[in-house]
Structures are given as C-alpha cells and as structure tokens.
Amino acid sequence: MGSDQTSATTRSAEPVYRRIADAMRARIESGELAQGDQLPPIRALAADLGVNRDTVSLAYDALRTEGLVEGEVGRGTFVRASVRAEPMAATARLQLAEAAETLLRFEGARPRLAGGQDLVALHTLVPEPALYPASAFRRALNKVLDETGPELLMYGGARGDPGLRAVLAARLRADRIGVSPDEVVLCHGASQGISLALRLFAGSGDAIAVEVPTYGGVLSTLTALGLRAEPVTMQSDGDGGRAPDLDEVDRTLARPDVKAFYTIPTFHNPLGTTTPLEHRRRLLALAARHGKPLIEDAFAMDLRYEGQPVPSLAALDESGLVVQLCSFSKSLFPGARAGAVIARGRAVEALTALKRATDLSDSMPLQAALAEFVSNGAYDRHLVKLRRELRLRRDALLEALEHHMPEGTAWTRPEGGYQLWVDLPDDPFDFDTRDLLADAARAGVTFQPGAAFLPEGGPSRGLRLTVAQADAAAIECGVEALGRALRARFAQDPTARQAAAVQL
C-alpha cells in the first residue's frame, strides 16, 4: 500500500477510511494479501498515509464487519482463513432494518480486546472461571435433575420457576418491605430485564434518560428497540463520588418524549460509584413529581465488600415507580443467564405478558438448580469468598494506581463490584483513551476506553478498569504497563499529532 492510498486521502469526497478499506479489499481479492497474512500495523499505515490512527482503525473495522479480516487490538489484523471468493454474497444485499444497520456499525467499531498470557485483561466485566463455584453448582443441578419429575423438562410459566422466585423474593425482603414471589419475573440475565423494562414504558421514537457514562449494553438495546438515549451527566461530588445531576434529571423527565430514567445507583458501570441515600430520596421525589418510572439496574446487588449498604431505590419507593433489575452473572457466573425484573401492580402483569411474547419461558432445570443452590446456603458461602477476593483485588488496583499513574490522574473508589473509573489528566492536546488502547496492549494491558459508555461514542479522557480477570499480582503488572504506555504517550510531541489530524 503506497502512493495509491496516499493520494486516496485527498482525492474524493468519500470518507478516507472507506477509501483505505476499498484499497485493502482490492489487495485481498487480488490475492496480493493471502489468507492468514497480516495487514500493515495501524500505527505504521497511519504514519505512511499521513492520516490519524482512528481512520485506519475504522477502515480495518469495516473490513472486519465484511468478514474479510480478523484480529484484536494489539495483536494485529489478519486476512481471514475463510475469506469468500466473492465477499459481497447475496445476503450482503438484503435490506436490513435501520436499527440492525446501526448495530452492525457499532459492532464494527467495537475494539476487539484480547486476553492471553502476555496481556493483563483489565477491560472485561466477565468474572474469570476460577471465581465460579462450579462443583457446588453441579451438585445442585444433579440433585434437581435426579429428584424432580419430567415436568422440569417442560415449558415453565412466563414468570419462571416458582422456587427461585420465592427464594429471590425472600432475599429481597431483607433489603426492603413486601416483595412477593409474584412480583418477580425471571429472565435471561439483566440484559433481557433491561429490554423488557424499556419496552414496558417506551415505544419506537421515544426517549429514555440515561446516565453519562452508562453501561454500553443499554445503549445497544435502546438502538435495537428504536429508542433514543437522553443523556444525564454524572456529576462529581469532588470526593470521588458521582451521581446523576438532579437538575438535569428534572428537566429531562419533564419532556413528554422521555418515558423513564435508566439508572445504576449501586456499583455503577462503568464508574464503580454508589449514590448516597439522600440523593436516592430526591431522585424518587423527582420521579414521583413527573410520574415517570425509574429503571434501577441492580446487576451487582450482592457484591458489596466494604461500607454500609445503601437501601436500593426499590426499597425506598413508595409510589410503585421503580422497576428493579437483578442478575446472577457477576455474583455467580454469566453462563447461568439468570436475572430478574421486580415490579408492582399492572407493571408486573404487563412484564409477564411481554416475557411470554418474547420467548415463552426460560430454562427450567437451570432455574430450579439455582433455587436449590441459593436455598441450601451454597450461594451465600460462595459470596463470602467472592467478596473477600474482590476486596483484595480492589485494594491491589488502588495501590497500583497510586504508584503508577501520572500526576493529575483521578480515579473512583468502589465499595463493591469489579470496576472503577480513571480520569486521565488534562494535557496540551485533545486526547481520547481509544488512542491509547493499542499502545497499552503492546505494553501488556487492556482497558475499556470511556467512549464505549457514551451515547455518542466519544471522545473521552476516561477509561474503565476491572478486576474480573486478574488477581492482585496481575493487576499490579497491568497498571504498571498502563502507566508506562500513558507516560510514553504524554511524552510525544503534541504538535506532531496535531499535524496528522489536520491532514484529514
């Protein structure tokens, strides 16, 4: 790839990344780049062409979406082994729905972050299998399969296994008053809970207020459902805490097109922060004044390892405005795909109907095994160990940040869960943490750039670190590598970067 593509950067109105992708595709189709060959590294090609690295990265993402190449950040991009002779197969001409096209673009732009022996994975919120209570769960599953009749293998009711709803309701009663098993609708993880709760209140074209930053999954779900995200700033309290700006919530909920507020008050993803009791009370009062529901994502509800629990929004709710989502993915294992939506009155009736209309029912053997696992005490025994390990890892992370982050960096201090947020210091040039990802991966660590948590996709000077896949020793190595990559980046001459950006 030489002068041809260099001229492509100045020649036409077509986006530069498209022209780069076209040129690469031509090289693959002509056989010049064969199966398994590595494409030029992003940094080298960007320097060669005098374009920004993001532009090359976008071009490679487009080729990845077409199925022509594969690879992950920091490991290189390769021509796929099974590249079709005719890449634009008949299916490529299918007219997809607008939402599906948008999701395809999101997928293409998503960084592929690898794990692996030489990389410390601080990017993922998927707990590592070493943390799963696999043997105890296997025993619970075998027990219910041995002891229950064939009815376990039939479709269940839309609300899910009555035994699991009963044990969940009992646990929730410890946190608040009067949840009955009939107010619990089991579902495929909090992800399906989000989708059900959104559909409960909003239809195509409506908007949902979301925190900024927020969980990326809810942003994709909004797109899939044809809904808009209305951003609400997460305000800093100056002391490491963050909470949604209540004036903004007030203004946003006043709008007729905004149908609900999706919020993560406890162990926020990605921030790791928990909102204080008084803030929760004021938020509930606002919601009541506007008559708008709050969708409380309590995905990490059982993972507090420090400090006093703050009552959930659902626990404080006196008006039936809160729909709460729970999950076993982070406290047990994500493959359970087990979660729940808790609601009252007509909302729970409608949720049940929505669940039935979506997929009839969940896996009954799995839910029955979970009920056994929770009620025989294995879940609580597991939580004791898990919380202890998470606290060790959190402490290691905080200590490593203290040692290795450049002056001016700030981070949050979670009291539970797996993640915290890092704000990089101001520097003389515009900086987006996506730009740092490849350097960090080469140094030996991955993180999740802040852009992944913004409705408009960035840029962001923030990043999320997690302790889901790395123990204390690995965390120290990973943060040390991140510090190295950061310092190297900050030491670069800002004028060189700006010159590259101007070329676009």
Ligand X SMILES: Cc1ncc(COP(=O)(O)O)c(C=O)c1O
Q: Is 190 in the site for ligand X (CB under 6 A)?
A: yes
Closest CB to ligand X among residues 189, 444? 189
Q: Which of residues 323-342 bind ligand X (CB under 6 A)?
A: 327, 329, 334, 339
Closest CB to ligand X among residues 49, 190? 190
Backbone angles phi and psi of 104, in degrees to 5: -60, -40
Burial class (CB within 10 angstroms; exposed 0-12, middle 13-18, buried 19+) of 334: middle
Closest CB to ligand X among residues 297, 476? 297
Cα R_g (the chain), whole angstroms: 24
Closest CB to ligand X among residues 327, 469? 327
Min dist CB 209 to ligand X, Å, is 15
Q: Which among 26-34, 88-96, 183-191, 477-485 is the span making contact with ligand X, rule CB under 6 A?
A: 183-191
Q: Which two tokens stand for residue 484?
A: 């190295």
Binding-site member from 269, 275, 352, 361 for ligand X (CB under 6 A) = 269
Q: Is 215 in the site for ligand X (CB under 6 A)?
A: yes
Binding-site member from 299, 305, 373, 411 for ligand X (CB under 6 A) = 299
- The reply to whether omega before 459 is within 30° of 0 (cis) is yes
Site string for ligand X, 116-135 (x = CB under 6 A): ---------x----------
Residues 6+ apart with CB under 8 A from 299: 190, 264, 269, 325, 326, 327, 329, 330, 339
Min dist CB 326 to ligand X, Å, is 8
Q: How far is CA 446 from CA 53, 111, 113, 395, 460, in A?
A: 18, 11, 7, 19, 16
Q: Which among 39-47, 188-196, 372-380, 437-445 is the span making contact with ligand X, rule CB under 6 A?
A: 188-196
b (16+ CB within 10 A) / e for 142-171: eebeeebeeebeeebbbbbbbbbbbbbbeb
> Mind spelling out the 3-state secondary structure of 133-166?
CHHHHHHHHHHHHHHCCHHHHCCCCCCCCHHHHH
Site string for ligand X, 72-111 (x = CB under 6 A): ----------------------------------------
Q: Which among 105-113, 163-171, 186-194, 239-247 is the span making contact with ligand X, rule CB under 6 A?
A: 186-194
Closest CB to ligand X among residues 330, 497? 330
323 - beta bridge partners? 295
Whether the Cβ atoms of residue 379 and residue 336 lie closer than 8 Å to each other: no
Q: Is 416 in the site for ligand X (CB under 6 A)?
A: no
Closest CB to ligand X among residues 400, 452? 452
Min dist CB 337 to ligand X, Å, is 7
Min dist CB 312 to ligand X, Å, is 14
Q: Is 455 in the site for ligand X (CB under 6 A)?
A: no
Q: Which two tokens stand for residue 212?
A: 């900024």
Edge to edge, what strands does the sheet with 419-423 contain? 410-411, 419-423, 462-466, 448-449
Min dist CB 334 to ligand X, Å, is 5
Binding-site member from 111, 127, 189, 450 for ligand X (CB under 6 A) = 189
Closest CB to ligand X among residues 62, 234? 234
Min dist CB 449 to ligand X, Å, is 16
Residues 6+ apart with CB under 8 A from 21: 59, 60, 62, 63
Q: How many CA atoms lie within 13 A of 130 on its CB side?
A: 7
| Separation of alpha carbons 326 and 188, rounded Å | 10
Q: Which SS3 state, helix, strand or coil, does residue 414 take?
A: coil
- Count of Cβ atoms closer than 10 Å to residue 488 Cβ: 14
Min dist CB 141 to ligand X, Å, is 19
Q: Which among 63-71, 189-197, 303-311, 487-495 is the span making contact with ligand X, rule CB under 6 A?
A: 189-197
Closest CB to ligand X among residues 52, 195? 195
**Helix, strand, coil percent values for the chain (each to nearest 5):** 50, 15, 35
Name the residues that contact ligand X, by CB under 6 A: 125, 189-191, 215, 217, 264, 269, 297, 299, 327, 329, 334, 339
